[in-house]
């Protein structure tokens, strides 16, 4: 038993004060947390207001110069640059698939046998390169997402804003991956058909003549084989051209969707 009869009363009073203190601290923490979310939403609204009517990425940078402390604008500018860098990196990888000599082949009717054999070798290389392109593209896309996610988390803009941004990036990457897979398959078909076409010329070198830009073969069966190879190559080339037009439409669609996102639409 306490020697002081009022000790229990003192203890109860202390506990009540402690409980009140904990409640005040809890309310304070909640208020600070809620205030942080409110400021984030205000920053997002101000950033989206500054981006109304944008038509290209340079306007995001201009808005950021006018509001350098706005977290939303900083996030949008960084994410836009990251997307542009990714598109440039993917295009660079695409250009590396095909050896330059293929596009410089020129008039095959005037090519020597060694020129034709060298071209066929380059086409085989291009076909093999197409098979290694996809993993490298996926690595570029992953790097972009990881960098953007790391940066947005560091801004503490809120989970909802981060999720919307990453969902937009994931959708774009999914479209790029699907399109790239189809394009690589089409390009591989083209390189293979082109090889077969050049193979006919190599096999018949010295037997054919070129008159007014047309190959003239001495035997009908060779004419038929050449026609089949030429038609297959033309069909494959047309398919690649169609997909390239699809790529342009896809880029426009992604750009429009991104502009809607940054404006908060």
CA geometry: angle 109, 113, 114, nearest 5 deg: 125
Strand 214-216 and strand 209-211: pairing? antiparallel
Pair 52, 63: CB distance under 8 Å: no
* Mean local confidence (pLDDT), 58-85: 82
Cα separation, 100 vs 102, whole angstroms = 5
Q: What percent of the chain has pLDDT over 90?
A: 56
The larger pLDDT score, comparing residue 31 to residue 151, is at 151
pLDDT for the residue numbered 226: 96
| Per-residue confidence band for 257, with pLDDT thresholds at 50, 70 and 90 | confident
Cα separation, 252 vs 79, whole angstroms = 17
| Range of 23-37, 59-73, 211-225 with top mean pLDDT | 211-225
Please report, for the chain, the start and end positions of each structural domain, with discontinuous segments joined by +: 51-262
pLDDT for the residue numbered 65: 79
pLDDT for the residue numbered 259: 77
pLDDT tens digits along 198-218: 999 999 999 999 998 899 999
Alpha-carbon Rg for the chain, nearest whole angstrom, is 32
The larger pLDDT score, comparing residue 263 to residue 54, is at 263
Q: Find the largest Cα–Cα distance for the chain.
A: 126
Bridge partners of 216, per DSSP, are 209
């Amino acid at each position: 038993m306490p020697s002081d009869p009022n000790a229990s009363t003192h203890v109860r009073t202390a506990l009540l004060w402690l409980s009140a203190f904990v409640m005040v601290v809890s309310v304070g923490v909640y208020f600070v947390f809620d205030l942080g979310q409110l400021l984030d939403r205000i920053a997002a609204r101000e950033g989206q207001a500054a981006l109304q009517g944008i038509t290209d990425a340079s306007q995001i940078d201009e808005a950021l110069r006018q509001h350098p402390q706005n977290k939303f604008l900083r996030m949008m500018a960084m994410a836009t640059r990251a997307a542009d860098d990714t598109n440039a990196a993917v295009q660079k990888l695409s250009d590396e698939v095909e050896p330059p000599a293929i596009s410089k082949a020129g008039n095959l009717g005037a090519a020597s046998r060694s020129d034709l054999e060298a071209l066929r070798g380059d086409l085989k290389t291009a076909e093999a390169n197409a098979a290694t392109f996809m993993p490298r593209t996926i690595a570029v896309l992953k790097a972009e997402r990881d960098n953007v996610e790391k940066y947005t988390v560091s801004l503490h803009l809120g989970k909802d804003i981060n999720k919307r941004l990453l969902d937009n990036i994931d959708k774009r990457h999914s479209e790029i991956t699907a399109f790239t897979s189809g394009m690589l398959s089409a390009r591989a078909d083209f390189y293979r058909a082109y090889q077969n076409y050049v193979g006919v010329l190599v096999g018949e070198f010295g037997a054919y003549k070129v008159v007014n830009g047309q190959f003239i073969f001495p035997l009908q069966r060779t004419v038929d084989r050449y026609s089949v190879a030429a038609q297959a190559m033309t069909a494959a080339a047309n398919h690649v051209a169609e997909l390239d037009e699809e790529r342009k439409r896809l880029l426009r669609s992604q750009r429009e969707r991104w502009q809607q996102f940054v404006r908060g639409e």
